[in-house]
Homo-oligomer: A and B are copies of this chain.
């Protein structure tokens, strides 16, 4: 397979390169840029010296036909304009940005404050939450790869909503992310001295992943839910931990909650149901495509605590994108992704 990456300088792009480098079906990776044509990629990213020393290529629609897949890993507002010119050229399009996730253009405008993608492409694009949408992904031309937070949240709460174990409107999600989620562009908010040794909340009740979560709940469970969702910055590079709270429906037991998750994911190699709190943490999935989930019913309050962890750059971005590519090309989902988490 021949792969193109647009937006390789972002951290999602770097992780695509890291995993595709070891993917047995990938024979070539080409990096495209809108602005830095000719730049030697490894000059900016020293870790790629002797691994990817090619110059960046100019985005050129004519040359794309020979590719099998194009990953677009760009800031929001780029692929809404770029993808229309790529559709139909041949390669599958896997978009890691938020531009094709929300089906309703108005929602996109409201939460992203940008012009939405064309309606026909929004309709055609398939939401790439692999474990929940495999059939549609297989046949998709455009995949809207899920956001990092929605991936962690949805994988953990969807089984409980779908199996009618929790009151969906009681759902409160308190999410925490490492700072790589803010991307590679320096700012005061990602400046080491002001970020290190600091834990903070941001975009209170206003994160653009809220409509994505609510849309997916509806898409996969037919339930309309309005959720509380907040996001925090953890002074570490990688990892998301989502803590969700929901009131259980009458009579629901802890065993039912756990079994619901186990049953849902029994054939899904990247989702692990954890029994012991001490085995759960973002470093247990670091560098890997795993999503670990733990649920625990609090009988004092009749609420279940639903905890999940992912590596935001892997299962939350590049890893899931490659997992979707594997599905599209009828390859085992784990191909190129079967790595042991780093832990330390």
Q: Which of B235, B303, B339 contacts A234 (CB 8 A)?
A: B235
Given A172-B245, A201-B243, are A341 and B235 also a contact pair (CB < 8 Å)? no
Question: Does A78 lie at the interface of the complex (its beta carbon under 8 Å from any beta carbon of B)?
Answer: no
Q: Which of A158-183 contact B (CB under 8 A)?
A: 172, 174, 176, 178-180, 182
Q: Is the CB of A205 closer than 8 A to any CB of chain B?
A: yes
**A191 contacts B193, C-beta separation under 8 Å:** no
A201-B241, A272-B50 as given contacts; A301 in contact with B228, CB under 8 Å = yes
A45, A203, A274: most-surrounded residue (chain B CB, <10 A): A45
CA distance A193 to B191 in the complex (A): 9
> Cβ of A205 and Cβ of B305 under 8 Å apart?
yes
Are A344 and B180 in touch, CB under 8 angstroms? yes
Q: Which of B42, B236, B243 contacts A197 (CB 8 A)?
A: B236
Say whether A47 contacts B285, CB under 8 Å.
yes
**Contacting residues, chain B, for A196 (C-beta < 8 A):** 179, 192, 196, 235-237
Q: What separation, in Å, do the CA atoms of A245 and B51 have in the docked complex? A: 29
Is A276 in the interface zone, CB < 8 Å from B?
yes
Residue of B nearest to A187 (CB): B186
Interface centre among A182, A285, A301 (most CB of B within 10 A): A301
Residues of B within 8 A of A300 (CB): 205, 226
What's the least CB distance linking A84 to chain B, in Å?
32
In the A-B complex, the 10 residue pairs with the closest CB atoms: A46-B279, A200-B281, A198-B283, A186-B186, A205-B298, A174-B174, A47-B341, A47-B343, A18-B340, A47-B284
> Cβ of A11: which chain B residues have Cβ within 8 Å of it?
193, 344
A279 to B71 alpha-carbon distance, docked (Å): 26
Most buried by B among A176, A286, A296, A307: A176
- Residue among A196, A202, A309 with the highest chain B CB neighbour number at 10 A: A196
Q: In the complex the two chains form, is B228's CB within 8 Å of A344's CB? A: no
- A342, CB-defined interface residue at 8 Å: yes
**B180-A228 in contact (CB<8A):** no
Interface pair A226/B301, CB less than 8 Å apart? yes
Q: Kindly list chain B residues whose C-beta atoms are within 8 Å of the C-beta of A283.
A: 47, 194, 197-198
Assess the B281–A198 pair: CB atoms within 8 A: yes
Q: Are A243 and B232 in contact (CB under 8 A)?
A: yes
Contacts of A274 in B (CB 8 A): 46, 49
Please give the distance in Å from A293's CB to the nearest CB on chain B: 12
Nearest-neighbor residue (CB-CB) of A52 within chain B: B340
Provide the bound-state CA to CA distance between A288 and B196, in Å. 17
CB nearest to A297 among chain B residues: B205
A256 interfacial contact with B, CB 8 Å: no
- B198 contacts A282, CB within 8 Å? yes
Q: Which residues of B contact A57 (CB under 8 A)?
A: none
CA distance A187 to B248 in the complex (A): 35
Report A44 CB to chain B, min CB distance, Å. 9
Interface centre among A14, A184, A198, A294 (most CB of B within 10 A): A198
**Structural contact, A43 and B279, CB atoms closer than 8 A:** yes
Within the complex, what minimum Cβ distance (angstroms) separates A189 from chain B? 8
